[in-house]
Structures are given as structure tokens and as C-alpha cells.
Copies of this chain bind each other. A is one copy, B any other.
Amino acid sequence: MSTDSSTRLPGAARPLRPAVPEATVARLPVYLRALTAAAEDGVDTLSSDELATAAGVGSAMVRKDLSHLGSYGTRGVGYEVDYLIYQISRELGLTQDWRVLIVGAGNLGHALANYGGFASRGFRVVALLDLDAARVGEHIAGLHVDSVDRLEQVVAEAGVHIGVLALPADAAQATCDRLVAAGVTSVLNFAPCVLEVPAGVMVRKVDLSTELQILAFHQQRRVFQVERHPVAGRSRVPLAEAL
């Protein structure tokens, strides 16, 4: 993250609600998904407890999170599903359609372009660019792959809001710079590298191998635990191996 929402225009009027905490924002999409699923099942009301179970968190946290958006529940009853869906969507800005540009038409770019979860939440992939001239012209998910040379043009013409980098690490920074220069202020980076951007541009990183490494850390730690306190339970994999 490179934007600090504090210290903005010294004399500026502070927003009335004291801003939604980052941790809460990260959970809102999870609630939203649970709510959508419930709505499809015909449920029209959920208690914080039920929502908490569906989202895999504690009920107190659900209530506190939702309280940051306003008082949208009814005591003794719970939250009306449709209404809450609307409120969360609005808070997240999903009521408008965001135009997304994916750079990199490799496997990951393909996967992203085909992912159905985007369109239903107001994200529209407007173009798919690739560095490899050989790949230009392919047809993926209703889009034809275009050359990365046309990046600036596409950003300007389509009014791209969010750029997604699904390309090798060595091309990521240069491409990111071009996106930023073209006016994109939100970037989702799948390349395994740290991007430098000017203040005011927001970058989020998704790193596949990082996730595996975190899992490995915990798994290793657990093996040590088991080793010191052997418990009845499967250990198909010889423990010696873990050293």
C-alpha cells in the first residue's frame, strides 16, 4: 500500500464517519459473498451469528465491522440480507462499473479474463494485452489479445480504472510505470516483485509462492510439535524427513 489516507490536505474537512478500518474493508467482500449466497437460497434475514459462521469469523467482529458502515441491523431480528448487500456494495463502490485492463495473456491472464467472479461485481475487463507479438490476435473470453504497445491508447479510450499485472517480474515495473503515466491509480500485481509507484497510486500484491511459503512454515512448525509430543494420529510421511 502506498497511499496514506491520513495527512491529506491539512485544512481539509475530515469525513464525518471516521473512515472504515482497513481490516474491516478486507472482510467486507467475504460478508458480501456470504450474503449473496444466502439471498440465492431465499434467506431474507441473517443474524450476526449466522453471518459470522458463514464468513468464518466471530460474531462480535461482524457486528463491529458492520457498525462502521452505519446501523443497518434490527435488534432482536438481525440484518436484512438484500438491504445489507446493497449497503456493502455501495461502500465498496461496486455499484459503478470498474474498467479493468489485464496486461499479460499467459495462463494467469487467461484465468483472470475468464473468471466469472469479476463481472458479477461490477468489474469489466476492457482489454487484454500481451508483450508477445505471437499471442496478439488470440480470442479469449470475448476479448481479442492486443499488443502492449497500445497500452496508453487503451487506457485513454476505455477509461481504465484498474490495471492488473499478470506478467513476468522483469517486465512488471516498466509496465506499471506506463500504466501510472497513463493515469491509472490502482494496480493489482501478480508478478513476484515489489513495485515502486508515486504517492497516490495504490498497489496490491498477490503472490502465489508467498502463500505456499507461509503454509510451509506452519506445517514445519506443526511437525516439530508432533515430534516433541507424539499424539495418536496419522503420520504417513516419515517424520525424519521434515528435518
Contact = CB atoms under 8 A, between A and B. Distances in A.
Interface residues of A, number: 80
A8 B224 CA distance: 13
Interface stretch (A77-85, A171-179, A208-216): A208-216
A28 B108 CA distance: 24
A14 to B, nearest CB: 11
A151 to B, nearest CB: 14
Interface in A94-117: 94, 96, 98, 100, 106-108, 110-112, 114-115, 117
Interface of A: 3, 5, 8-9, 12-13, 20, 25-26, 28-30, 32-34, 54-56, 91-94, 96, 98, 100, 106-108, 110-112, 114-115, 117-118, 121-123, 156, 159, 161-162, 183, 185-188, 192-194, 196, 200, 202, 204, 206-222, 225, 228-229, 234, 236-237, 241-243
